[in-house]
Amino acid sequence: MNEYTFEQLSIGQKETFEVTVTSEMEDAFRKLTGDVNPLHQEDAFAKAVGNGKFDSHVTFGMLTASFYSTLAGVYLPGKFSLIHSLEIKFQKPVYAGNRLTVTGEIVDKEEGLGLILVKAQIQNQDKKTVSKANMKIMCLSQDKQ
């Protein structure tokens, strides 16, 4: 886990990590949220309602979006962070077995507020962007640990 302070962060700084979506992740997310929509668990249903757009059941968008939380809380800036706002645009479906690459880059710093602005994206194993996000992340003080 990174422990960048606000002062150590700079515009243009990037972090990246990879994760493979598994059916176990989907099951845990379903159990946690209670979202039992068949689009997220039944291949035949997803294929039928998607009119050929979906290969199988679609992974929960919010499950994949949760990796933006990992980006902020573990990588950029890491331990001393709190997401202030998050704007996500979903672009392509994700399926169990997809290998995702999550990347974030600092595009601005708000000195007075201790916020960094991060442009982030998630790409699948085919280098196709599945979502994009704009994040404002608060860098917390380390003084009171």
Q: What is the DSSP string of 7-71?
A: GG--TT-EEEEEEE--HHHHHHHHHHH----GGGT-HHHHHHHTTTS-SSSPPPHHHHHHHHHHI
pLDDT classification of 141: cutoffs 50, 70, 90:
confident
Position with higher pLDDT, 24 vs 112: 24
Lowest mean pLDDT: which of 19-23, 27-31, 47-51, 93-97? 47-51
Lowest mean pLDDT: which of 45-54, 55-64, 115-124? 45-54
Q: Residue 101 pLDDT more than 60? A: yes
Phi then psi dihedrals of residue 14, to 5 deg:
-125, 155
pLDDT classification of 115: cutoffs 50, 70, 90:
very high
pLDDT, tens digit (0-9, with 9 covering 90-100), for 59-83: 999 999 999 999 999 999 999 999 9
Q: What is the pLDDT, as a whole number, of residue 96? A: 96
Q: What is the pLDDT, as a whole number, of residue 114? A: 93
Q: Are 58 and 46 a contacting pair, CB within 8 Å? A: yes
Which residue matches tokens 């243009």?
Answer: 12
Q: What is the pLDDT, as a whole number, of residue 94? A: 97
- pTM value surpassing 0.85: yes
Q: CA-CA distances (angstroms) from residue 35 to 31, 61, 78, 90, 137?
A: 8, 12, 29, 18, 28
The Cα 129–Cα 110 span in angstroms is: 28
pLDDT classification of 143: cutoffs 50, 70, 90:
low
Domains, in order of start, for the chain: 10-139 (3.10.129.10)
